[in-house]
């Protein structure tokens, strides 16, 4: 058992009892804890006025030593300055604080009750020696008992997970689609993860963030899109890689729409680096395009020769309601193109800078993306289906292309066409 039967303690009994009740109610599974304390402002002021040297301990330090000892003995949890569980004990003594403010007002003539603790301490540091001596003489301990009110709060450091998701559905959002105060579509990648993580880690919530976002009708294939998840308020903190792999399997078993790979726990530094990956990557896509008329093989060959190239993209009309109007320069690194079932259908395999709007590069978005494939071919072109294939490697993307074209039901046409 995590908690042993605890005896009645005369010192800090009410504080310790309240703390133990909270720990037992939440049933935290942790190995280490750190203790945070907040004392009434009058305690801190008395310590400063006493002008103790470095060898003396403050009220706060003494209280922490006592409480840490009690928690370690009764729970078996080890104290660590970087502990996963944070225990906050906040002490308040309104009567003593009011007495302090009244004394300060009588000395300085100023009303200071609205100042924060930090600003009040800074104000006292600016008092002259006579005022400090007067304050020290009046702010003595009284025989009258003025008990403190105590509040305890338990918090855990977020559990940080990272991985990649592969998305097979063309009807699945990455995160909930919110309009006003309601959710328009129920079910998304974030929800699939949150359901399992909340159950296994007994956490209050998850914060999901990915390296970019594909449209709802775009599949994410290949090596998957990197993502990170913050699990907030976890009660189950003692997890290992085997536990994480079991959670990954549970997520993948719950749906055929996505597949999670490489799920693992990461440090804060790794978490920050992973969150910035969107702006540091190139991405490879395969798209099925349909032209308003026949497109000759020579035209596709010339299209291939355009890359590498730079394009200018104004914020697309379809996202203008939620994105800032701006013109962005994007780099097209490589293009491969070949016909599909007939001369009106063709594929493009394209590697671009992260953040490129592929749909708009195909049809031009009413001239808002220049140059574009439609203008180059001299005919209206629309994008029928789009898959994200890779974040880094065109060869890897080309291998993944085989699966993509099978799903697009046009593998037969490729048998007679050279890439």
**pLDDT tens-digit profile of 19-31?**
788 888 888 889 9
List 47, 215, 243, 407, catalytic entry? 215
394 burial type by CB count under 10 A (0-12 exposed, 13-18 middle, 19+ buried) = middle
Ordered alpha helix ranges (H), 182-267: 189-201, 241-253
- Assess whether the region 159-278 and the region 281-414 belong to the same CATH fold: yes
Percent of the chain surpassing pLDDT 70: 82
Report the pLDDT value the prediction gives residue 277, as an integer from 0 to 100.
61
pLDDT bin (cut points 50, 70, 90) of residue 393 is very low
Continuous segment of H or E residues that includes residue 213? none
Separation of alpha carbons 107 and 136, rounded Å: 11
Residue 366 has pLDDT above 60, yes or no: yes
Which range has the top average pLDDT, 39-48, 51-60, 383-392?
A: 383-392
Which fold does the domain 159-278 belong to in CATH?
Answer: Alpha-Beta Plaits (3.30.70)
Q: List alpha helices for 218-296, DSSP H.
A: 241-253, 268-275
> Stretch 136-142: mean pLDDT, rounded?
72
Catalytic (active site) residue 262: no
* CA R_g for the chain: 32
- The pLDDT, as a whole number, for residue 146 is 62
Which pair of structure tokens corresponds to residue 1?
Answer: 């058992």
Which of the two residues, 273 and 417, has the higher pLDDT score?
273
pTM: 0.77
* pLDDT at position 26: 86
52, pLDDT greater than 80:
no
* Mean pLDDT score, 227-253: 95
Q: What is the mean pLDDT of residues 239-255?
A: 96
pLDDT of res. 99: 82
What's the pLDDT score for residue 121? 76
The DSSP line for 45-67 is HHHHHHT--TTSPPHHHHHHHHH
Instruction: Say whether pLDDT at 406 is over 50.
Output: no
Instruction: Assess whether pLDDT exceeds 80 at residue 139.
Output: no
Fold that domain 281-414 belongs to in CATH = Alpha-Beta Plaits (3.30.70)
Query: At residue 363, does pLDDT exceed 70?
Result: yes
Greater confidence, 174 or 277? 174
Q: What is the pLDDT of residues 163-213, one digit of tens each?
A: 999 999 999 999 987 766 665 666 899 999 999 999 999 999 999 999 888
Give the residue extent of every domain in the chain. 13-156, 159-278, 281-414
Q: What is the pLDDT of residue 324?
A: 92
Lowest mean pLDDT among 82-86, 116-120, 173-177, 352-356: 116-120
Model confidence band, residue 44 (pLDDT cutoffs 50, 70, 90): confident
Mean pLDDT, range 89-117, rounded to an integer: 81
């Amino acid at each position: 058992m995590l908690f042993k039967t605890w005896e009645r303690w005369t010192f800090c009994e009410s504080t310790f009892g309240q703390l133990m009740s909270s720990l037992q109610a939440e049933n935290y599974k942790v190995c280490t804890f750190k203790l945070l304390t907040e004392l009434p402002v009058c305690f801190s002021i008395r310590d400063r006025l006493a002008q103790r040297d470095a060898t003396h301990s403050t009220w706060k330090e003494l209280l922490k030593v006592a409480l840490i000892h009690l928690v370690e003995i009764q729970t078996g949890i080890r104290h660590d300055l970087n502990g996963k569980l944070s225990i906050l004990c906040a002490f308040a003594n309104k009567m003593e604080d009011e007495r302090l403010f009244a004394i300060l007002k009588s000395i300085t003539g100023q009303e200071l009750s609205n100042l924060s603790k930090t600003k009040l301490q800074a104000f006292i540091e600016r008092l002259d020696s006579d005022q400090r001596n007067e304050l020290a003489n009046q702010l003595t301990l009284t025989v009258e008992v003025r008990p403190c009110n105590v509040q305890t709060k338990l918090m855990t450091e977020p559990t940080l997970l990272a991985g990649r998701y592969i998305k097979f559905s063309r009807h699945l959002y990455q995160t909930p689609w919110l309009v006003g105060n309601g959710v328009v579509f129920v079910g998304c990648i974030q929800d699939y993860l949150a359901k399992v993580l909340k159950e296994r880690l007994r956490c209050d919530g998850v914060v999901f963030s990915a390296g970019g976002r594909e449209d709802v009708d775009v599949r994410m294939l290949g090596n998957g899109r990197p993502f990170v998840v913050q699990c907030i308020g976890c009660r189950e903190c003692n997890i290992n890689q085997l536990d994480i792999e079991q959670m990954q399997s549970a997520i993948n078993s719950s749906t055929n729409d996505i597949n999670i790979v490489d799920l693992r726990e990461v440090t804060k530094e790794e978490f920050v680096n992973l969150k910035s990956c969107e702006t540091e990557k190139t991405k490879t896509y395969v798209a099925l395009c349909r032209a308003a008329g026949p497109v000759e093989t020579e035209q596709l060959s010339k299209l291939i020769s355009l890359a590498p190239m730079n394009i200018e993209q104004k914020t697309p009309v379809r996202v203008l309601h939620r994105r800032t109007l701006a013109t962005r320069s994007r780099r097209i690194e490589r293009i491969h193109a070949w016909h599909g079932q007939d001369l009106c259908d063709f594929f493009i395999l394209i590697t671009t800078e992260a953040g490129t709007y592929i749909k708009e590069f195909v049809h031009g978005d009413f001239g808002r993306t220049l140059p574009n494939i439609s203008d180059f071919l001299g005919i209206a072109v629309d994008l029928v289906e789009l898959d994200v294939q890779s974040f880094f490697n065109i060869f890897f993307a080309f291998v993944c292309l085989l699966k993509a074209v099978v799903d697009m039901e046009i593998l037969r046409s490729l048998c007679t066409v050279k890439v």
